[in-house]
């Protein structure tokens, strides 16, 4: 057969080959490099040396633990890793069980150095340029390889801060603004165990170092601003909000204007980020803490939630409804009257939602005794708002559970004011007949008119405002924070243009 035949031509034709190489693994969190290795040797135990020699032994062990082991190779430096782990445990027990240990300034310098050398490192980027992007809602976090050592370092440093012998005068020279910034950078670590220790560590520093409080708050605000308006990616937002929750709880009354600006500029805009589910419980707690201190903020916060209300994200809408119910529970009668129009207009929209979880969560408001008591006091204004939606949904919704909840809501409305209920039924049927016959409008208030009227209740508010921070979040500080709010309005407008369907 000729070599140029059709079969040979097919065999010799060039073939397109698809490379099937395995995608590279995401980079490990640990990035420790040490060019100069110092061999670790086991030192004597504290109880084996005379008391007068223990301070020198304490210092020797601290310096020994500042040597970094290679955790990139599990089989490397096994003896050194065990010696360091054991020595760190010795330091932890020595500080915890003894008094009069932290007597010299050199201990503060060396302990701070030990913490910095072991923990301060570059956090890998969240997006791997050679692999898939990390999704915190779907992917498992990359755990820290060196955690057996890092955990004990965190515990030792916390015992150091909490020690009765702790001398703030010595510590101020080494735990400074640079130290705080490096600590805050670690909050973006993927390992949740490390973020939990960081949360406790920063909280202890905030409580002891009054001179750093203003700087810590400004630095946290900068992280939030970058997260809201630029990256929308950060692993430690929940932990930072948890710290702020305890700070807000300590605000003095009446609230300063800069406290309110923090609510407007940081907490409310945090609701519009796509990854809200990762930190919403902590965010809602912070918001409710503000409202418990000043109920006058309830209309403004409610307006903020309605402004950022999700349009095509049902799970996020359920979260908003959860928070809205918490807000209603802290409102007194006067503030409830200020928000009941927009509140029940939004509830009506949610009740008629075809997504049954949204409709179900909205109807659960009728199971809240406090909400029902407030509704009973204002039933004349509320029933015309909510009745048309409830009645229509009872006839049209596809889900049996929703129908049962709607019937329960209608029954409660009827029990609150039977005459008004019958009046609303007659008006609804009359309105429906007029729409079918094509005759002119009737004189009752339609849902559209009610919606417009309820929105006009917030016409006096402007959210968010263009004013900047004039001070700090604590009474003892009075620094100017206006510089951190420059161009926030422009950035927010740009965000709304780029993200129309939140």
The answer to whether residues 38 and 21 touch, using CB atoms and an 8 Å cutoff, is no
pLDDT of residue 429: 86
Asked if residue 221 has pLDDT above 90, the reply is yes
CA distance 412 to 114: 65
pLDDT tens digit string along 100-137?
Answer: 899 899 999 999 999 999 999 888 766 554 455 556 66
For range 169-193, the mean pLDDT: 95
DSSP output for 334-374: HHHHHHHHHHHHHHHHHHT-SSHHHHHHHHGGGG-HHHHHH
CB atoms within 10 A of CB 155: 18
**Residue 244: Cβ-neighbour burial (10 angstroms; 0-12, 13-18, 19+):** buried
Higher-scoring residue by pLDDT: 475, 153: 153
For 332, the token pair is 């007194």
- Rounded to 10°, the helix 400-416/369-377 angle is 40
CA distance 386 to 347: 8
The answer to whether residues 324 and 342 touch, using CB atoms and an 8 Å cutoff, is no
CA distance 484 to 278: 25
CA distance 278 to 58: 42
For 4, the token pair is 């140029």
Judged by average pLDDT, the poorest of 70-79, 254-263, 399-408 is 70-79
pLDDT tens digit string along 315-354?
Answer: 999 999 999 999 999 999 999 999 999 999 999 999 999 9
Question: Residue 495 — pLDDT band, cuts 50, 70, 90?
Answer: very low
pLDDT of residue 452: 36
CA distance 198 to 186: 8
pLDDT of residue 102: 92
First vs last C-alpha separation in the chain: 68
Question: Which phi and psi angles does 133 have, rounded to 5°?
Answer: -70, 145
Q: Among 422, 423, 448, 446, which residue's Cα sits nearest to residue 434? A: 446
Asked if residue 460 has pLDDT above 50, the reply is no
Residue with tokens 């395995």: 22
The answer to whether residues 194 and 131 touch, using CB atoms and an 8 Å cutoff, is no
Q: Give residue limits of the domains in the chain.
A: 39-125+144-175, 334-457
The answer to whether residues 191 and 197 touch, using CB atoms and an 8 Å cutoff, is no
pLDDT of residue 486: 37
CB atoms within 10 A of CB 37: 12
CA distance 326 to 333: 15
pLDDT of residue 370: 96
pLDDT tens digit string along 387-432?
Answer: 999 999 999 999 999 999 999 999 999 999 999 999 999 988 888 8
């Amino acid at each position: 057969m000729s070599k140029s035949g059709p079969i040979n031509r097919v065999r010799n034709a060039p073939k397109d080959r698809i490379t099937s190489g395995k995608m590279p693994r995401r980079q490990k969190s640990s990035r420790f490099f040490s060019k100069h290795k110092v061999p670790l040797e086991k030192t004597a135990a504290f109880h084996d040396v005379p008391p007068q020699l223990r301070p020198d032994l304490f210092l020797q062990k601290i310096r020994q633990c500042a040597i970094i082991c290679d955790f990139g190779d599990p089989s490397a430096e096994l003896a050194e890793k065990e010696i360091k782990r054991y020595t760190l445990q010795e330091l932890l027990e020595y500080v915890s069980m003894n008094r009069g240990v932290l007597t010299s300034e050199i201990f503060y310098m060396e302990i701070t150095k030990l913490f910095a050398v072991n923990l301060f490192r570059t956090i890998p980027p969240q997006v791997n340029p050679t692999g898939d992007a990390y999704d915190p809602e779907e992917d498992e976090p990359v755990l820290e390889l060196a955690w057996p050592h890092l955990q004990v370092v965190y515990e030792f440093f916390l015992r150091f801060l909490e020690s009765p012998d702790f001398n703030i005068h010595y510590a101020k020279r080494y735990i400074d603004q640079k130290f705080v910034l490096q600590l805050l950078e670690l909050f973006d670590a993927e390992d949740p165990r490390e973020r939990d220790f960081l949360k406790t560590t920063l909280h202890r520093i905030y409580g002891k170092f009054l001179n750093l409080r203003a700087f810590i708050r400004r630095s946290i605000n900068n992280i939030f601003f970058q997260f809201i308006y630029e990256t929308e990616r950060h692993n430690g937002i929940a932990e930072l909000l948890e710290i702020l929750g305890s700070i807000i709880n300590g605000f003095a009354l009446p609230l300063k204007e800069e406290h309110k600006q923090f609510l407007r500029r940081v907490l409310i805009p945090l609701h519009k980020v796509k990854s809200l589910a990762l930190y919403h419980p902590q965010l809602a707690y912070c918001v409710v803490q503000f409202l418990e201190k000043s109920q006058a903020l309830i209309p403004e916060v409610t307006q903020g939630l309605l402004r950022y209300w999700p349009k095509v994200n049902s799970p996020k809408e359920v979260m908003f409804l959860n928070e809205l119910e918490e807000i209603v529970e802290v409102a007194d009668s006067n503030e409830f009257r200020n928000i009941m129009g927009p509140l029940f207009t939004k509830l009506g929209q949610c009740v008629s939602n075809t997504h049954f979880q949204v409709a179900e969560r909205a109807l659960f408001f009728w199971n809240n005794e406090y909400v029902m008591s407030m509704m009973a006091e204002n039933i004349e204004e509320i029933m015309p708002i909510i009745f048309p939606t409830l009645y229509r949904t009872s006839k049209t919704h596809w889900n049996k559970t929703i129908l049962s909840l709607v019937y329960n809501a209608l029954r409660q409305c009827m029990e609150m004011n039977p005459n008004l209920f019958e009046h609303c039924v007659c008006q609804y049927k009359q309105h429906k007949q007029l729409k079918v016959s094509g005759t002119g409008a009737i004189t009752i208030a339609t849902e559209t008119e009610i919606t417009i009227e309820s929105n006009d209740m917030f016409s006096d508010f402007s959210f968010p405002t263009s004013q900047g921070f004039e001070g700090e979040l604590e009474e003892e500080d009075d620094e100017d924070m206006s510089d951190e709010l420059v161009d926030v309005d422009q950035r927010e407008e740009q965000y709304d243009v780029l993200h129309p369907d939140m």
